[in-house]
Amino acid sequence: MVTKRIIPCLDIRDGRVVKGVNFRGVQDVEDPVMLARRYNDAGADELVFYDITASVEGRSLFTDVLRDVARSIFIPLTVGGAIRSLADFDRVLKAGADKVSVNSGAIQNPALIAEAAKRYGDQCVVLSMDVARVDGAYHLFTKGGREDTGIDAMEWAARGEAAGAGEIVLNSIDTDGVKRGFDLEMLAALARRVSVPIIASGGAGKMEDFKALFALPGVDAGLAASIFHFGEVDIAELKRYLAENGVPMRLPRSHND
Amino acid sequence: MIAVIDYGVGNLFSLSSSLSFLGLENRVTSSEADVRAASRVILPGVGAFGDAMEKLSATGLVPVLKDEAGKGKPLLGICLGMQLLFEKSYEYGEHAGLGLLPGEVCPLEPDLAAAGFSYKVPHIGWNALHLEQPDCPLLANTKEGDHVYFVHSFYAKGCCGALAASAEYGVTVPGVVASGSVYGCQFHPEKSGAAGLDILRAFAAL
């Protein structure tokens, strides 16, 4: 049986790890390569690198960071942020990414998912979406969660899956940064709509939140950033806790092996 | 030197990096001379079977790989590269493989449905290995239950005695296959953390 995945997300700007709370108020955390190694050693199942750089110099720093990580960490690496074209896919895949996550890029160019899936395979294309409730409906947001597109988010996910997205990251703007748990209601709505793996993002504050998450059928992975960066939740401890609670987990081998 | 066959299918950066990380000299190549000179050969690959087989044929390396494998040079197929080692595949039509291992490559979906499972396809994520042949030299450093990273929608059937380790996903998914000097991993050892590096290390020690 495939295990549930725990995925730390590293937001990178100008070669450094940052994390915005509710997408605002950015704090500098740590060296991305060091942090990636620490997470790998703790048993992270995958790493996500999100490029929030605005400048060209920053973009090339990001690619350098990715290459450095891929030379010493041998677990799946997903890259997102600023992916707008096949050339962007190519740039990060050559630097060691295994999967590429598309968000606003797919809103601007709806053909991007299909084109990328055709060239690199479904397994390589991840649809990432920022979603919030608006008047009782789930709306797709763009520009880092600041702008309501008015698009029905569940419809958007179904279209993304049909176009070839191999996984979907659902980031709930309503729970992001609040640390009171994942948006189970929104995730359940997505799980009813798509059959590709779902990665939950936004709202994790403690270990119990992950236990509640994985009790939800159809959710394959939990993604978080600041709670891992600031040591509020330790990945090794979290995975042991989840395994003890019956969640299928890949546990690190003991050092005696 | 380990020759990593480059035939334009997939990204070889991580595989080459993982070998270098282990201190293993390797060369990403499509040259016959390199394959002949190498002590070991890795055949990687992602994508569709028919397309990959065509591209591999275009390099002219098919007879070279068969010849070197026949002489006992260790050959390791990874993911689609493993599937190419079999006799044939039913991925979008019917395609002949290298025929270095008995068996054929079939879609997971109908077999999962027939077995009454609604598991997602592709089979993607970390799954545990069950050692069918604990003495297999490629598994010298591998323990029962080690987790490795899979990404695939097709799987090998009928590999019988070549099945060295399997994963449970509604059906029995061959994880490691071995016959003589020919080895295959359905999962990605270069993406499977310490457990994956252990397998690459065992391959280098054959």
pLDDT confidence of residue A118: 86
- Report percent pLDDT > 70 for chain A: 94
Q: Cβ distance A125 to A165 under 8 Å?
A: yes
In this complex, the residue of B127, B191, B193 whose CB is nearest that of residue A98 is B191
Q: Do A35 and A10 form a contact (C-beta atoms < 8 A)?
A: yes
Cβ of residue A125 closer than 8 Å to a chain B Cβ = no
Tell me the percentage of chain A whose pLDDT exceeds 90.
75
Neighbours of B23 (CB within 10 A): 8
Q: Is the pLDDT of residue A188 over 80?
A: yes
CATH class of the structural domain A5-244: alpha beta
- The full DSSP string for A64-82 is HHHHHHHTT--S-EEEESS
C-beta separation of A117 from A125 below 8 A: yes
| Candidates A2, A93, A252; nearest CB to B11 | A93
Per-residue pLDDT, B77: 98
Query: Mutual orientation of helices B13-21 and A56-70 as an angle, nearest 10°?
Result: 50
Contacts of A60 by beta carbon, 8 Å cutoff, 6+ apart: none
The reply to whether residue A2 touches residue B47, judged by beta carbons under 8 angstroms, is no
Using a CB–CB cutoff of 8 Å, tell me whether B24 touches chain A. Answer: no
Per-residue model confidence as pLDDT tens digits over B76-107: 999 999 999 999 999 889 999 999 999 999 99
DSSP character for A202? S
Grade residue A180 by pLDDT with cuts at 50, 70 and 90: very high
Q: Which residues, 6 or more positions from B81, have their beta carbon under 8 angstroms from its beta carbon? A: B5, B42, B43, B44, B45, B184
Question: Model confidence over B27-78: pLDDT tens digits?
Answer: 999 999 999 999 999 999 888 899 899 999 999 999 999 999 999 999 999 9
- Cis peptide bond prior to B122, omega within 30° of 0: yes
Amino acid identity, position B142: T
Residue B71 per-residue DSSP state: T
- Judged by CB atoms closer than 8 Å, whether chains meet at B197 and A74 is answered as yes
Query: CA nearest A198 in B: which residue?
Result: B120
Dihedrals φ, ψ of A151, to 5°? -80, 140
- Whether residue A68 lies within 8 A of chain B, CB to CB, comes out as no
A255, pLDDT greater than 90: no
Cβ-contact B76, B41 below 8 angstroms: yes
Q: Which residues pair with B150 in a beta bridge?
A: B125
Catalytic annotation, residues of A: 11, 130
Helix (H) or strand (E) holding B112: helix B108-114
Hey, is B1 helix, strand or coil? coil
Least confident range of A54-63, A124-133, B63-72, B100-109: A54-63
B125–A contact, CB cutoff 8 A: yes
Buried b or exposed e, range A175-197, using 16+ CB within 10 angstroms: bbbebebbbbebbebbbebbebb
Q: pLDDT (tens digit, 9 = 90+) per residue, B112-151? A: 999 998 888 889 999 999 999 999 999 999 999 999 999 9
B159 touches B86 (CB < 8 A) = yes
Both tokens assigned to A131 = 């979603």
First to last CA, chain A: 23
Q: Where are the alpha helices (DSSP H) in B92-168?
A: 108-114
Dump pLDDT digits (tens) for A73-87: 999 999 999 899 999
The minimum CA-CA distance between A101 and chain B, rounded to whole Å, is 16
Partners of B123 on chain A (C-beta within 8 Å) are 2
Quick check: A96 and B13 CB within 8 A?
yes
Nearest-CA residue of chain A relative to B125? Answer: A2
pLDDT of residue A29: 53
pLDDT single digits (tens) B153-185: 999 999 889 999 999 999 999 999 999 999 999
Model confidence at A19, in pLDDT bands (50, 70, 90)?
A: low
User: Which residues are paired to B5 by β-bridges?
Assistant: B29
Q: Convert the pLDDT of each residue in A32-51 to its tens digit.
A: 898 899 899 999 999 999 99
Judged by CB atoms closer than 8 Å, whether chains meet at A70 and B17 is answered as yes
Whole-structure pTM value: 0.93
- What gap in Å lies between CA A169 and CA A200, rounded to an integer? 6
Measured distance CA(A106)–CA(A113) in Å, rounded: 7
B79 is catalytic: yes
ipTM of the complex as predicted: 0.91
* Both structure tokens of A252: 């690190």
Assign A133 to helix, strand or coil: strand
- pLDDT tens across A141-155, in order? 998 889 999 999 999
Domains of chain B listed by start with CATH number: 2-204 (3.40.50.880)
- Contacts (Cβ under 8 Å, ≥6 apart) of A30: A16, A17, A229
A75 and A50 Cβ atoms separated by less than 8 Å: no
Residue A238 has pLDDT above 50, yes or no: yes
CA distances from A135 to A121, A132, A152, A180, A181 (A): 37, 10, 12, 22, 22
**Nearest C-alpha neighbor of A173 from the set A142, A209, A199:** A142
Give the per-residue pLDDT at B34: 98
The whole-number pLDDT of residue A256 equals 41
pLDDT of residue B133: 97
Measured between CB atoms, does A76 come within 8 Å of chain B? yes
Structural domain spans, chain A: 5-244
Report the relative pairing of strands B104-107 and B154-157 from DSSP bridges. Answer: antiparallel
| A7 neighbors A199 (Cβ within 8 angstroms) | yes
DSSP type of residue A119: H
pLDDT at A241 over 60: yes
Cα separation, B101 vs B133, whole angstroms? 16
